[in-house]
């Protein structure tokens, strides 16, 4: 069962081996609950909650929920564990694309590209003005990276050439983090210090109960005056009401957002603010990354159903469940 829609190459890969039922971008929940019954595999994405209701609707045939994304906060891992459903994601394939968009948004907010474009398009540009739409440079600025995983590390690599001071915060100490710290000249600090010192704060944590509203009113009050917030992680990592206040009072200079608490963010006050750069959750999406994403997500389906080792398994315990051997 493909909950929404796959690129054609993905449909071919699965269609050679399996009977496919493919939803469409607007497939409604009731329809999905009806059509998923009896599926061996479910291909979901961040817009599809994979919870007890959906797992029960699929029934005991379901062996894998393959998420068409790196983040899997839409999937209830506990419920999958109880039923022996393997969950996979697609690490690495979106790293560079997402990091490049984070840097694009950072520069767009710094140089007020959205505002500037709107002025030109509306015919409001009265001519060159040495005092108009002044931005700020990354060179010499302090950039704080929250979450030095795959994407956070790639962002640090990409912005090296602008010459900022780079800070990061991390929950644990892993060898990759220490290596990145040394190789890229990063300074590790606590979150409060990071936001107090950074001109740009860019978010790269996964969404969990711990990181939901990590950036809330209290933390925003600690940000350096005039800082810019960039979010390409998940919308719910930021308390959007608190963000709107900070942007309205000028405590924050700007925000650049690819992700929102509710997507699409219809009616959100963020859409009315001039100092916000917006993109519609496209950070990971390039022609190359989506080709790799498709290949990886669907190869995991083929491998799990064949009982082979698969890439991107986030709950390896489920592989030992009787359901995976058809003994349930």
Question: What element of type H or E holds 200?
Answer: strand 200-203
Active site residue 213: no
Q: Nearest approach, Cβ of 263 to ligand NAP (angstroms)?
A: 10
Q: Is the torsion defined by CA of 261, 266, 268, 274 positive or negative? A: positive
202 part of the interface to ligand NAP, by CB under 6 A: no
Distance in Å from the first CA to the final CA of the chain: 21
Site for ligand NAP in 133-172 (CB under 6 A): 146-152, 169-172
Contact map string, positions 68 to 107, toward ligand NAP, x by CB under 6 A: --xx-------------------x--xx--x---------
| Helices marked H in the chain | 8-15, 29-35, 52-58, 77-83, 95-110, 113-121, 150-159, 175-184, 191-197, 217-220, 240-249, 287-305
For residue 239, what are the CA distances in angstroms to 244, 245, 270?
9, 10, 12
Active site residue 281: yes
239 part of the interface to ligand NAP, by CB under 6 A: no
Site for ligand NAP in 272-301 (CB under 6 A): 281, 283-284
Longest pairwise C-alpha distance within the chain: 74
* Inter-residue contact 86 to 325 (CB < 8 Å): no
Choose, from 154, 253, 281, 321, the residue flagged as catalytic.
Answer: 281
262 part of the interface to ligand NAP, by CB under 6 A: no
Nearer to ligand NAP, 23 or 147 (CB): 147
313 part of the interface to ligand NAP, by CB under 6 A: no
Q: Nearest approach, Cβ of 264 to ligand NAP (angstroms)?
A: 14
16 part of the interface to ligand NAP, by CB under 6 A: no
Beta partners for 9?
none
Nearer to ligand NAP, 56 or 292 (CB): 292
List b or e across 166-193, with b for residues whose CB sees 16 or more CB atoms inside 10 angstroms.
Answer: bbbbbeeeeeebeebbeebebeebebee
Active site residue 204: no
Between helix 113-121 and helix 95-110 the angle, nearest 10°, is 60
Q: Given candidates 74, 211, 268, 300, which one binds ligand NAP under the rule CB under 6 A?
A: 211
Choose, from 234, 240, 253, 321, the residue flagged as catalytic.
Answer: 234
Q: Nearest approach, Cβ of 58 to ligand NAP (angstroms)?
A: 24
Nearer to ligand NAP, 32 or 215 (CB): 215
DSSP summary character for residue 18:
S
Q: Nearest approach, Cβ of 320 to ligand NAP (angstroms)?
A: 24
67 part of the interface to ligand NAP, by CB under 6 A: no
Report the candidate in 36, 52, 261 with the shortest Cα–Cα distance to residue 44.
36
Please identify every residue annotated as catalytic. Answer: 234, 263, 281
* Interface contacts to ligand NAP, rule CB under 6 A: 70-71, 91, 94-95, 98, 146-152, 169-172, 174, 204-207, 210-211, 232-234, 258-259, 281, 283-284
């Amino acid at each position: 069962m493909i909950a929404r829609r796959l690129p054609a190459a993905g449909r071919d890969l699965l269609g050679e081996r399996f009977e496919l039922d493919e939803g469409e971008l607007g497939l409604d929940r009731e329809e999905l609950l009806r059509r998923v019954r009896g599926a061996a595999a479910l291909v979901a994405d961040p817009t599809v909650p994979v919870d007890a209701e959906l797992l029960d609707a699929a029934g005991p045939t379901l062996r894998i929920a393959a998420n068409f994304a790196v983040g899997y906060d839409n999937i209830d891992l506990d419920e999958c564990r109880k039923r022996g459903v393997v969950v996979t994601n697609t690490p690495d394939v979106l790293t560079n694309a997402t990091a490049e968009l984070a840097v694009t948004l950072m520069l767009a907010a710094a140089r007020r590209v959205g505002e500037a474009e709107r002025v030109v398009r509306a015919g409001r540009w009265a001519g060159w003005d040495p005092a108009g739409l002044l931005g700020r440079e990354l060179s010499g600025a302090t950039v704080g990276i929250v979450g030095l995983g795959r994407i956070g590390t790639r962002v640090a690599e990409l912005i090296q050439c602008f010459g900022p001071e780079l800070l990061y915060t991390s929950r644990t100490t892993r060898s990759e983090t220490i290596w990145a710290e040394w190789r890229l000249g990063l300074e590790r600090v606590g979150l409060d210090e990071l936001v107090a010192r950074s001109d740009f704060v860019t978010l790269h944590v996964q969404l969990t109960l711990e990181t939901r509203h990590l950036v809330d009113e209290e933390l925003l009050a600690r940000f350096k005056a005039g800082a810019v917030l960039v979010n390409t992680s998940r919308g719910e990592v930021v308390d959007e009401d608190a963000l709107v206040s900070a942007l309205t009072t000028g405590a924050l200079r700007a925000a650049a957002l690819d992700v929102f608490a509710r997507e699409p963010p219809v009616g959100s006050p963020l859409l009315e603010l001039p100092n916000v750069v917006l993109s519609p959750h496209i950070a990971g999406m390039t022609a190359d990354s989506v080709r790799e994403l498709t290949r990886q997500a669907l190869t995991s389906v083929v491998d799990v159903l064949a009982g082979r080792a698969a890439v991107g398994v986030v709950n390896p315990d489920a592989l030992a469940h009787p359901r995976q051997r058809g003994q349930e």
